[in-house]
Structure 1
Amino acid sequence: MTDEQLPAPIAEFVRATNAGDSDAFVAAFTDDAELIDWGRTFHGRDGVRSWDRTDNIGVHSRFEVVGWRWEAADTVIVDLTVTGDGYNGTGPMTFELRDGLIGSLVIAPTD
């Protein structure tokens, strides 16, 4: 973990999830975002909203940031503990940032 603040779109991703604010959650992503959750792919904000409904806020998920690091100039890996009525556990999420928003999110182990 660094002393830097979590990049704003990712901080909003966490805040919106914990607040149960689906509109703010979706707004943290670009119009053409891609979200990949263990091989399932969701496209655009409609896809992100669908995933949010079935796998995130819709199942009362809550996030706690355990740590994070820059992987590249526009890529951040965040280790999150997830609790709620769906998946529960700790693991990495890889965010690619673009134009001040989340352009892609991959939920899967990192090498």
Structure 2
Amino acid sequence: MTQRPDTSPDTSTDTLPTTVREFMTAHTAHDAATAVACTSDDVVVVDQGETFRGRDRVLSFLRSAGSEFEYTTEQIGAHRFDTDHWVVTVRLEGTFPGGVADLDYHFTLQEGLVAELVIANH
């Protein structure tokens, strides 16, 4: 089933739930411990087809993700699908192959925490 956002695109972090905003701020600052504190114990993160389950595995993933490159991150969009489903679009620019990438971070919240995160090309 295709979900459609119930609001128009908004690049403001003010529109995001606190948990998503705190996760993205910590993730952008390469603060994996603070990002993981925003997740449920049984969180699932999928990035480039690889799945990480549970806080310990997600913490290891976040600590190493992109560490071999230098890059900047800019939020360029945010969409709300419903209370528990959000997509944040970020642009990465750096020393990785291609130099620029737009990624969508698909968040599923449960009881105020990130229960699932799927990171995919925009």
Which residue identity does 2:53 align to in structure 1? Answer: H
TM-score for the superposition, normalised by structure 2? 0.74
User: In structure 2, what is the Cα distance between the partners aligned to 1:52 and 1:27?
Assistant: 12
1:22, distance to aligned residue in structure 2 (A): 2.0
Q: Name the structure 1 match of 2:112.
A: 100
Matches of 1:61 and 1:45, distance apart in 2 = 25
Question: What is the match of residue 65 of structure 2?
Answer: 55
**Map of 1:29-108 to 2, 5 A cutoff?**
29-56=39-66, 58-59=67-68, 62-83=72-93, 88-108=100-120
Residues 47, 83 of structure 1: alpha-carbon distance in 2 compared, 3 angstrom cutoff: farther
Contact 1:30 1:101 in 2 (8 A): yes
Q: Give CA-to-partner distance per residue, 1:62-102, whole Å, 9 cap, x none.
A: 43211111123311011111245657511211100111111
Q: Unpaired runs of 5+ in structure 2?
A: 1-8
C-alpha separation in 2, matches of 1:26 and 1:62: 21
Q: Could you tell which deviates more after superposition, 40-49 or 81-90?
A: 81-90
Equivalence map 1:8-23=2 (5 Å) = 8-23=18-33
The Cα shift of 1:105 comes to 0.3
Q: Scaled by the length of structure 1, what TM-score is found?
A: 0.81
- Report percent identity of matched pairs: 31
| Structure 1 vs Structure 2 CA RMSD | 2.3
Q: Which runs of 5+ in 1 are unaligned?
A: none
SS in 2 for 1:12: helix
